[in-house]
Amino acid sequence: MSVTVVGSTAIDTIQTPFGKASSVLGGSATYFAMAASYFCSVRIVSVVGQDFPDDYFQVFHDHNIQTEGISVTEGKTFTWTGRYNDALDSATTLDVAVNVLENFEPRIPASYQGPDILFLANINPGVQLQVVKKIHPKYLIAMDTMNIWIETKREALLEVIRHVDIIILNDAEARLLTGQAVLPKAARVIASWGPKRVIIKKGEHGAFMSSENGFFVIPAFIQEKLVDTTGAGDSFAGGFLGSLCQSILDKKNTPDEKNYREAVIYGNVMASFTVEDFSVEKLRGLDQDDIYTRRKNILNQTSVI
Protein backbone atom coordinates (compact mmCIF):
# COMPACT_ATOMS: atom_id res chain seq x y z
CA MET A 1 0.00 0.00 0.00
CA SER A 2 1.24 3.45 -0.88
CA VAL A 3 0.16 7.06 -1.19
CA THR A 4 1.38 9.13 -4.12
CA VAL A 5 1.35 12.90 -3.61
CA VAL A 6 1.67 15.55 -6.31
CA GLY A 7 2.41 19.04 -5.06
CA SER A 8 4.99 21.70 -4.40
CA THR A 9 8.42 21.45 -2.86
CA ALA A 10 9.60 24.82 -1.62
CA ILE A 11 12.26 26.76 0.18
CA ASP A 12 10.51 28.99 2.72
CA THR A 13 11.56 31.95 4.83
CA ILE A 14 9.10 32.52 7.63
CA GLN A 15 8.58 35.03 10.40
CA THR A 16 6.13 34.42 13.23
CA PRO A 17 5.73 36.14 16.61
CA PHE A 18 7.84 33.28 17.97
CA GLY A 19 10.86 33.52 15.69
CA LYS A 20 12.21 33.31 12.18
CA ALA A 21 13.40 30.51 9.93
CA SER A 22 15.35 31.21 6.74
CA SER A 23 15.54 29.03 3.61
CA VAL A 24 13.93 26.02 5.21
CA LEU A 25 12.28 23.01 3.56
CA GLY A 26 8.61 23.61 2.74
CA GLY A 27 5.91 22.99 0.16
CA SER A 28 2.58 21.20 0.15
CA ALA A 29 3.97 17.84 -1.01
CA THR A 30 6.75 18.03 1.58
CA TYR A 31 4.53 18.48 4.64
CA PHE A 32 2.05 15.93 3.33
CA ALA A 33 4.72 13.32 2.69
CA MET A 34 6.43 13.77 6.03
CA ALA A 35 3.14 13.45 7.94
CA ALA A 36 1.91 10.46 5.91
CA SER A 37 5.25 8.66 6.22
CA TYR A 38 4.43 7.63 9.80
CA PHE A 39 1.53 5.53 8.53
CA CYS A 40 2.24 4.27 5.03
CA SER A 41 4.70 4.17 2.16
CA VAL A 42 4.83 7.57 0.40
CA ARG A 43 5.92 8.67 -3.10
CA ILE A 44 6.36 12.29 -4.16
CA VAL A 45 5.80 13.85 -7.59
CA SER A 46 7.17 17.40 -7.60
CA VAL A 47 9.83 19.67 -9.07
CA VAL A 48 12.84 21.45 -7.61
CA GLY A 49 15.65 23.58 -9.02
CA GLN A 50 19.34 22.77 -9.09
CA ASP A 51 19.72 24.79 -5.88
CA PHE A 52 17.68 22.27 -3.88
CA PRO A 53 20.03 21.02 -1.13
CA ASP A 54 20.96 17.33 -0.93
CA ASP A 55 20.25 17.58 2.79
CA TYR A 56 16.58 18.15 1.98
CA PHE A 57 16.46 15.04 -0.19
CA GLN A 58 18.01 13.27 2.77
CA VAL A 59 15.10 14.39 5.00
CA PHE A 60 12.74 12.51 2.67
CA HIS A 61 14.98 9.47 2.44
CA ASP A 62 15.26 9.29 6.23
CA HIS A 63 11.49 8.78 6.17
CA ASN A 64 11.60 6.20 3.38
CA ILE A 65 9.78 8.62 1.09
CA GLN A 66 10.35 7.84 -2.58
CA THR A 67 11.64 10.84 -4.52
CA GLU A 68 12.20 9.49 -8.03
CA GLY A 69 9.20 11.62 -9.08
CA ILE A 70 10.86 14.86 -7.96
CA SER A 71 12.23 16.37 -11.19
CA VAL A 72 15.41 18.38 -10.75
CA THR A 73 15.11 21.13 -13.35
CA GLU A 74 17.33 23.92 -14.58
CA GLY A 75 16.55 27.02 -12.52
CA LYS A 76 15.67 27.69 -8.91
CA THR A 77 13.30 26.01 -6.49
CA PHE A 78 9.97 27.67 -5.68
CA THR A 79 10.50 30.05 -2.74
CA TRP A 80 8.02 31.71 -0.41
CA THR A 81 8.69 34.37 2.22
CA GLY A 82 5.87 35.17 4.60
CA ARG A 83 5.06 36.77 7.92
CA TYR A 84 2.30 35.55 10.25
CA ASN A 85 -0.07 37.55 12.46
CA ASP A 86 -0.19 37.09 16.25
CA ALA A 87 -2.85 34.38 16.16
CA LEU A 88 -0.86 32.56 13.43
CA ASP A 89 -4.08 32.11 11.49
CA SER A 90 -3.11 34.28 8.55
CA ALA A 91 0.12 35.17 6.75
CA THR A 92 1.23 38.03 4.54
CA THR A 93 3.34 37.02 1.54
CA LEU A 94 6.45 39.20 1.57
CA ASP A 95 8.00 37.61 -1.47
CA VAL A 96 7.23 34.70 -3.75
CA ALA A 97 9.23 33.29 -6.68
CA VAL A 98 7.44 30.51 -8.55
CA ASN A 99 10.65 29.59 -10.45
CA VAL A 100 10.70 25.97 -11.70
CA LEU A 101 7.12 25.39 -10.53
CA GLU A 102 5.94 27.68 -13.35
CA ASN A 103 6.35 25.05 -16.05
CA PHE A 104 6.03 21.96 -13.90
CA GLU A 105 4.94 18.93 -15.91
CA PRO A 106 4.48 16.09 -13.48
CA ARG A 107 6.44 12.98 -14.42
CA ILE A 108 5.33 9.68 -12.95
CA PRO A 109 8.30 7.31 -12.70
CA ALA A 110 7.81 3.67 -13.73
CA SER A 111 8.51 2.70 -10.10
CA TYR A 112 5.32 4.56 -9.00
CA GLN A 113 2.96 2.54 -11.18
CA GLY A 114 -0.04 0.95 -9.52
CA PRO A 115 -0.65 3.53 -6.77
CA ASP A 116 -3.32 2.83 -4.20
CA ILE A 117 -4.13 6.38 -3.07
CA LEU A 118 -3.44 9.63 -4.92
CA PHE A 119 -3.29 13.03 -3.23
CA LEU A 120 -3.38 16.17 -5.34
CA ALA A 121 -1.82 18.60 -2.87
CA ASN A 122 -2.27 22.34 -3.23
CA ILE A 123 -0.86 23.27 -6.65
CA ASN A 124 -2.13 24.76 -9.93
CA PRO A 125 -5.30 22.81 -10.88
CA GLY A 126 -3.91 22.49 -14.43
CA VAL A 127 -1.16 20.31 -12.98
CA GLN A 128 -3.69 18.39 -10.86
CA LEU A 129 -5.70 17.67 -14.03
CA GLN A 130 -2.67 16.33 -15.90
CA VAL A 131 -2.11 13.91 -13.04
CA VAL A 132 -5.66 12.57 -12.66
CA LYS A 133 -5.54 11.76 -16.35
CA LYS A 134 -2.30 9.76 -15.92
CA ILE A 135 -2.79 8.00 -12.58
CA HIS A 136 -5.72 5.79 -11.70
CA PRO A 137 -5.28 4.71 -8.11
CA LYS A 138 -6.87 1.51 -6.85
CA TYR A 139 -8.67 3.06 -3.85
CA LEU A 140 -9.18 6.77 -3.96
CA ILE A 141 -8.17 10.26 -5.11
CA ALA A 142 -8.18 13.22 -2.73
CA MET A 143 -7.30 16.85 -3.35
CA ASP A 144 -6.59 20.19 -1.69
CA THR A 145 -6.54 23.68 -3.20
CA MET A 146 -6.19 27.33 -2.14
CA ASN A 147 -7.79 30.75 -2.61
CA ILE A 148 -5.71 31.87 -5.61
CA TRP A 149 -6.82 28.84 -7.70
CA ILE A 150 -10.44 29.38 -6.68
CA GLU A 151 -10.18 32.98 -7.83
CA THR A 152 -8.07 32.57 -10.96
CA LYS A 153 -8.53 28.97 -12.23
CA ARG A 154 -12.08 28.17 -11.23
CA GLU A 155 -13.03 26.14 -14.33
CA ALA A 156 -9.97 23.87 -14.20
CA LEU A 157 -10.45 23.51 -10.47
CA LEU A 158 -14.10 22.43 -10.86
CA GLU A 159 -13.00 19.84 -13.40
CA VAL A 160 -10.47 18.42 -10.93
CA ILE A 161 -13.14 18.37 -8.21
CA ARG A 162 -15.38 16.25 -10.46
CA HIS A 163 -12.60 13.62 -10.63
CA VAL A 164 -11.92 13.17 -6.92
CA ASP A 165 -13.46 11.07 -4.16
CA ILE A 166 -12.44 13.37 -1.31
CA ILE A 167 -11.77 17.08 -1.16
CA ILE A 168 -9.88 18.62 1.76
CA LEU A 169 -9.92 22.41 2.04
CA ASN A 170 -10.12 25.05 4.72
CA ASP A 171 -13.18 26.98 5.90
CA ALA A 172 -12.36 30.21 4.08
CA GLU A 173 -11.74 28.27 0.85
CA ALA A 174 -15.02 26.33 1.20
CA ARG A 175 -16.90 29.61 1.60
CA LEU A 176 -15.08 31.29 -1.29
CA LEU A 177 -15.60 28.30 -3.59
CA THR A 178 -19.34 27.95 -2.94
CA GLY A 179 -20.54 31.39 -1.86
CA GLN A 180 -22.12 29.61 1.13
CA ALA A 181 -21.15 31.10 4.49
CA VAL A 182 -22.58 28.23 6.54
CA LEU A 183 -20.08 25.35 6.40
CA PRO A 184 -22.45 22.34 6.27
CA LYS A 185 -24.24 24.07 3.39
CA ALA A 186 -20.93 24.74 1.63
CA ALA A 187 -20.07 21.05 2.07
CA ARG A 188 -23.35 19.98 0.47
CA VAL A 189 -22.75 22.23 -2.54
CA ILE A 190 -19.26 20.77 -3.08
CA ALA A 191 -20.58 17.21 -2.66
CA SER A 192 -23.16 17.93 -5.39
CA TRP A 193 -20.23 18.37 -7.81
CA GLY A 194 -18.97 14.83 -7.21
CA PRO A 195 -16.77 14.24 -4.15
CA LYS A 196 -18.24 11.66 -1.79
CA ARG A 197 -16.50 13.25 1.20
CA VAL A 198 -15.84 16.89 1.95
CA ILE A 199 -13.38 17.69 4.71
CA ILE A 200 -13.17 21.25 5.92
CA LYS A 201 -10.13 22.23 7.99
CA LYS A 202 -10.82 24.89 10.60
CA GLY A 203 -7.30 25.65 11.85
CA GLU A 204 -7.23 25.97 15.64
CA HIS A 205 -10.87 24.80 15.71
CA GLY A 206 -10.18 21.37 14.23
CA ALA A 207 -11.85 19.72 11.28
CA PHE A 208 -15.27 18.86 9.90
CA MET A 209 -16.20 15.96 7.61
CA SER A 210 -19.40 15.62 5.62
CA SER A 211 -20.51 12.50 3.77
CA GLU A 212 -23.65 10.47 3.15
CA ASN A 213 -23.05 9.06 6.63
CA GLY A 214 -23.58 12.49 8.18
CA PHE A 215 -21.35 15.04 9.82
CA PHE A 216 -18.30 14.49 11.98
CA VAL A 217 -16.44 17.25 13.76
CA ILE A 218 -13.46 17.15 16.07
CA PRO A 219 -11.64 20.02 17.78
CA ALA A 220 -7.94 20.55 17.23
CA PHE A 221 -5.45 19.63 19.93
CA ILE A 222 -5.39 22.51 22.39
CA GLN A 223 -2.06 23.97 21.52
CA GLU A 224 -0.01 26.11 23.85
CA LYS A 225 3.25 25.55 21.99
CA LEU A 226 2.46 27.33 18.74
CA VAL A 227 5.48 28.35 16.65
CA ASP A 228 4.60 28.28 12.94
CA THR A 229 1.38 27.13 11.26
CA THR A 230 2.92 26.75 7.78
CA GLY A 231 2.10 23.31 6.40
CA ALA A 232 -0.51 22.50 9.07
CA GLY A 233 -3.18 21.84 6.43
CA ASP A 234 -0.86 19.71 4.30
CA SER A 235 0.18 17.75 7.41
CA PHE A 236 -3.50 17.25 8.24
CA ALA A 237 -4.01 15.74 4.79
CA GLY A 238 -0.91 13.57 5.29
CA GLY A 239 -2.12 12.22 8.63
CA PHE A 240 -5.61 11.71 7.22
CA LEU A 241 -4.64 9.82 4.05
CA GLY A 242 -1.75 8.05 5.75
CA SER A 243 -4.12 6.72 8.37
CA LEU A 244 -6.64 5.65 5.69
CA CYS A 245 -3.83 3.92 3.79
CA GLN A 246 -2.86 2.06 6.95
CA SER A 247 -6.43 1.01 7.65
CA ILE A 248 -6.80 -0.37 4.10
CA LEU A 249 -3.56 -2.26 4.59
CA ASP A 250 -4.71 -3.65 7.96
CA LYS A 251 -8.15 -4.82 6.90
CA LYS A 252 -7.47 -5.44 3.20
CA ASN A 253 -10.68 -3.62 2.38
CA THR A 254 -12.00 -0.14 1.69
CA PRO A 255 -12.27 2.15 4.74
CA ASP A 256 -15.53 2.40 6.66
CA GLU A 257 -16.96 5.39 8.54
CA LYS A 258 -14.99 4.56 11.68
CA ASN A 259 -11.75 4.47 9.68
CA TYR A 260 -12.58 7.85 8.15
CA ARG A 261 -13.31 9.41 11.55
CA GLU A 262 -10.08 8.01 13.00
CA ALA A 263 -8.28 9.39 9.95
CA VAL A 264 -9.62 12.89 10.65
CA ILE A 265 -8.25 12.61 14.19
CA TYR A 266 -4.84 11.53 12.87
CA GLY A 267 -4.99 14.51 10.52
CA ASN A 268 -5.43 16.74 13.57
CA VAL A 269 -2.63 14.90 15.36
CA MET A 270 -0.08 15.45 12.60
CA ALA A 271 -1.08 19.10 12.10
CA SER A 272 -0.69 19.67 15.85
CA PHE A 273 2.92 18.47 15.71
CA THR A 274 3.80 20.52 12.63
CA VAL A 275 2.83 23.84 14.27
CA GLU A 276 5.16 23.25 17.23
CA ASP A 277 8.27 24.14 15.25
CA PHE A 278 9.39 25.68 11.95
CA SER A 279 9.45 23.71 8.70
CA VAL A 280 9.19 19.93 9.14
CA GLU A 281 11.46 19.94 12.21
CA LYS A 282 8.87 18.42 14.54
CA LEU A 283 7.78 15.86 11.93
CA ARG A 284 11.34 14.54 11.70
CA GLY A 285 11.68 13.15 15.20
CA LEU A 286 8.37 11.56 16.16
CA ASP A 287 7.70 7.96 17.07
CA GLN A 288 4.51 5.90 17.16
CA ASP A 289 4.08 6.57 20.88
CA ASP A 290 4.10 10.35 20.37
CA ILE A 291 1.39 9.98 17.75
CA TYR A 292 -0.76 7.63 19.77
CA THR A 293 -0.46 9.77 22.90
CA ARG A 294 -1.44 12.92 21.02
CA ARG A 295 -4.49 11.08 19.59
CA LYS A 296 -5.47 10.07 23.11
CA ASN A 297 -5.00 13.63 24.38
CA ILE A 298 -7.28 14.99 21.66
CA LEU A 299 -9.97 12.46 22.54
CA ASN A 300 -9.59 13.15 26.29
CA GLN A 301 -9.94 16.89 25.75
CA THR A 302 -13.28 16.26 24.08
CA SER A 303 -14.45 13.53 26.42
CA VAL A 304 -17.23 14.12 28.95
CA ILE A 305 -15.29 11.59 31.11
Residues that bind a copy of itself (CB under 8 A): 17, 85-88, 175, 181-185, 202, 204-206, 208, 214-219, 222-224, 226, 257-258, 261-262, 265, 299, 301-305
Residue type, 13: T
16 vs 128, beta carbon nearer a copy of itself: 16
49 vs 195, beta carbon nearer a copy of itself: 195
Measured from the Cβ of residue 114, the count of other Cβ atoms closer than 10 Å reads 11
Q: How far apart are CA 158 and CA 204, in angstroms?
A: 28
Rounded least distance, CB 282 to a copy of itself, Å: 17
114 vs 184, beta carbon nearer a copy of itself: 184
* Longest Cα–Cα distance in the chain: 57
Rounded least distance, CB 172 to a copy of itself, Å: 10
CA torsion, points 96, 101, 103, 107, in degrees to nearest 10? Answer: -170
* Strand-by-strand arrangement of the 166-170 sheet: 66-73, 41-49, 2-6, 117-120, 140-143, 166-170, 197-201, 207-211, 214-218
Nearest to 145 by CA among 108, 116, 173: 173
Rounded least distance, CB 77 to a copy of itself, Å: 31
Q: How far apart are CA 112 and CA 257, in angstroms?
A: 28
57 vs 216, beta carbon nearer a copy of itself: 216
92 vs 301, beta carbon nearer a copy of itself: 301
* Parallel, antiparallel or unpaired: strands 166-170 and 140-143: parallel
Rounded least distance, CB 238 to a copy of itself, Å: 20
Rounded least distance, CB 215 to a copy of itself, Å: 4
H helices present in 193-287, as ranges: 232-251, 257-274, 281-284
Q: Cα Rg for the chain, rounded, in angstroms?
A: 18
Q: Which helix (H) or strand (E) holds 84?
A: strand 79-84
18 vs 136, beta carbon nearer a copy of itself: 18
Rounded least distance, CB 37 to a copy of itself, Å: 23
Rounded least distance, CB 122 to a copy of itself, Å: 23
Rounded least distance, CB 21 to a copy of itself, Å: 19
252 vs 258, beta carbon nearer a copy of itself: 258
62 vs 256, beta carbon nearer a copy of itself: 256
132 vs 227, beta carbon nearer a copy of itself: 227
How far from chain centre, in Å, is Cα 259?
Answer: 18
How far from chain centre, in Å, is Cα 206?
Answer: 15
Rounded least distance, CB 280 to a copy of itself, Å: 22
Measured from the Cβ of residue 113, the count of other Cβ atoms closer than 10 Å reads 9
Name 186's Cβ contacts closer than 8 Å, sequence gap at least 6.
174, 175, 177, 178, 180, 200
